[in-house]
Structure 1
């Protein structure tokens, strides 16, 4: 009877994790209920067991959010600050859920790891294919041009900004590296590679150069992890092939050539590179004016907008945020906030390296690099997945640590 109850609890947690990895397929208004289901399944999994809460892990992983709450004390725009805290609540919810996660299920959960990765991979592939062909019925061949826009404004509760859809594709491709490595069947590997090619095509259709560059770097690091010249040569060949494709297509060549011609947005044109360059130039000035504690979560963007109004009509008209997560933390929380966030990232990276948690290492690098040109923590399409993935895969490092302790204990017992 007890075993049946434990099996049911595990199946509940397993199902909730499956739904979380399939989250991109759910409309915006349903996603909170999926997260609540995960939280409830973890609480139910703890029933009948001694209470266990990893306070240290919770504080390290959520302290940046707690600091944002404190920053309300010196924010003028309380309404904006509270809205931001609501949007970024995943930064405290997932650390809470994973700090409560029952240790007894960890081994079984990570036996199913590749099942979860596959679910997410299929979810992102399905989302893109359904969206592309559905809107293709209306736009015809021009869907290749309109695809980024229709995803942003024409899908109701499934609307998603192209940069976040690009990030989803990058994460799905990253997961596919590990899926391919795990599969024994060459036919299944070929199928995943074919789906990878389709996702790469979608990445190029979305035409966001930052995610493409970051994915190439992460792919190269993954190849180095394999310690195989064959894998490294394949990775270099794929990267070179994509570079040749970019240079051969005028639209893509023009997009990437922005990187070598950077000017102020008001004099050089409103390219994505010029926009970011101009934003960063202004943001750095404001950071220097309040370097220790920043301006508060409510006022960080307002400070930028006030300066845009004086210095850049284009930036002010579009009400741009900082387009850099590290700068955003500096504006809101100062150097204290930035150091807290970097400590959180470094802490998880150190443990990932120690326990050879390659998937977490690459996720931290991927998201860390993405944050250098996008505020991915300040939209639900970014912060939910970041918080969930980092929290979940950090559990893998934690589980390896527990297994190491058990193994060392057995060895000491044998020696005794």
Structure 2
């Protein structure tokens, strides 16, 4: 057994990363099996060889990667609903498992070539998801006039993924493809491959428009603009291209265009009336107004340590029930804070948010010091999406964040060949 582990650890580790990169098309159960299997195999390797290379720095890194898990676990000490809290932090296990898989290994496994193949598998999985949606939703897309939210429901039923998370996955695939063109293909002058990848990028942007999630769309545009180009000339050309593409997707179009258009005449009002009868007149902005109002009112009462991870949703629901008595909108659907930073404050207070941001500052500092443009892009992309969604409250968001945060961090550490800037 020992000889098998030592001989095949490199190959098995790489296989698990390739397989997990398919998570956009994998059932949750398969993702979990792959994740835990990869962790257990790395753990066995660590038991055999780990004492020879484990360092204090690795211990610190594991703590920093799992900071949110540790912060929320501490909040269980003062939460009332411990059962709900445990369910929540169980979803955060990938924030420990993924970095541990890398930390338990000594060998330099993720070089430039392997990193490129892993990210290509991910982009291919995204492409398969969108082609599948194109086929099964052909009538709704091109023939019938389906309302935006009804269409979003069709997408979420078919993929079993919330639209915001799917749009976020697609957005980061766009960023990865642009880096591939810039770093791998452009220098090789493979113009046919460049044309094909640009076509895929346009197709991905089209699906961001179809899905209609504003923040992933904007985050993609912002990250592409600020992080992918090295000089002023490139940034100006990129700005012209991205502005043109954004205008094409937004102006005088339904779905995402309609949603951006509503922001022109933003009205700070709240939902009114029975949701079943009045839902066509209740906007997403009105619902979010109520969410952020109650989030602010609730956090004011326990700003330093929060309520504990198990009690946040109950506290918000109590505010909804007591404040919005003229509508059942917040009873028909349970709404979380729709902002990762607010969720951390509500769960673990301002102190918890500060600790989380400090731990992530370590990764930002490492990315900047290494001049790793793709890692900076990822961190920027995720933290922008944190502003309007509890990304780390769902399995899909935790797996996405944990997998790529670990892959990008350790890919640079294990690089033998050339920079990924």
Q: What is the TM-score of this pair, normalised by structure 2? A: 0.86
Residues 360/249 of structure 1: CA separation in 2 closer, same or farther (3 Å cut): same
* Superposition CA RMSD, Å: 2.7
The reply on whether 1:26 has 2:26 as its aligned counterpart is yes
Residues 24/72 of structure 1: CA separation in 2 closer, same or farther (3 Å cut): same
The reply on whether 1:149 has 2:153 as its aligned counterpart is yes
Equivalent-residue separation in structure 1 for 2:201 and 2:62 (angstroms): 35
Match of 2:170 in 1: 169
Match of 2:277 in 1: none
Unaligned runs of 5+ in 1: 405-416
Deviations 1:180-204 (A, max 9, x none): 1211211111111111111111111
Deviations 1:188-222 (A, max 9, x none): 11111111111111111111111111111111012
Match of 1:117 in 2: 119
Match of 2:40 in 1: 40
Match of 1:320 in 2: 335
Match of 2:292 in 1: 280
**Offset at 1:315?**
2.8
- The DSSP-based 3-state class of the residue aligned with 1:165 is helix
Match of 1:92 in 2: 96
The reply on whether 1:379 has 2:394 as its aligned counterpart is yes
Contact 2:212–2:255, Cα closer than 8 Å, also in 1: no
Q: Name the count of aligned residue pairs.
A: 396
More deviation in 356-365 or 6-15? 6-15
Match of 2:79 in 1: 75
Equivalent-residue separation in structure 2 for 1:114 and 1:251 (angstroms): 33
Contact 2:5–2:45, Cα closer than 8 Å, also in 1: no
Match of 2:276 in 1: none
Residues 341/148 of structure 1: CA separation in 2 closer, same or farther (3 Å cut): same
Contact 2:221–2:242, Cα closer than 8 Å, also in 1: no
Contact 2:225–2:235, Cα closer than 8 Å, also in 1: no
Structure with greater helix percent = 1
1:205 is matched with which residue: 210, 217, 220? 210
Residues 295/115 of structure 1: CA separation in 2 closer, same or farther (3 Å cut): same
Contact 1:136–1:143, Cα closer than 8 Å, also in 2: no
Contact 1:329–1:338, Cα closer than 8 Å, also in 2: yes
Identify which of structures 1 and 2 has the higher relative contact order when contacts are C-alpha pairs closer than 8 Å and 6+ apart: 2
Residues 123/147 of structure 1: CA separation in 2 closer, same or farther (3 Å cut): farther
Contact 1:118–1:179, Cα closer than 8 Å, also in 2: no
1:296 is matched with which residue: 299, 302, 308? 308
More deviation in 114-123 or 64-73? 64-73
- The DSSP-based 3-state class of the residue aligned with 1:263 is coil
- The DSSP-based 3-state class of the residue aligned with 2:308 is coil
Match of 1:63 in 2: 67
Match of 1:188 in 2: 193
Contact 1:328–1:375, Cα closer than 8 Å, also in 2: yes
Q: What is the TM-score of this pair, normalised by structure 1? A: 0.87
Equivalent-residue separation in structure 2 for 1:232 and 1:148 (angstroms): 34
Match of 1:409 in 2: none
Unaligned runs of 5+ in 2: 274-280
Deviations 1:269-311 (A, max 9, x none): 5322332232112211211210111000000111110000011
Equivalent-residue separation in structure 2 for 1:352 and 1:197 (angstroms): 28
Equivalent-residue separation in structure 2 for 1:178 and 1:45 (angstroms): 33
Match of 2:403 in 1: 388
Contact 1:16–1:41, Cα closer than 8 Å, also in 2: no
Residues 330/56 of structure 1: CA separation in 2 closer, same or farther (3 Å cut): same
**Offset at 1:403?**
10
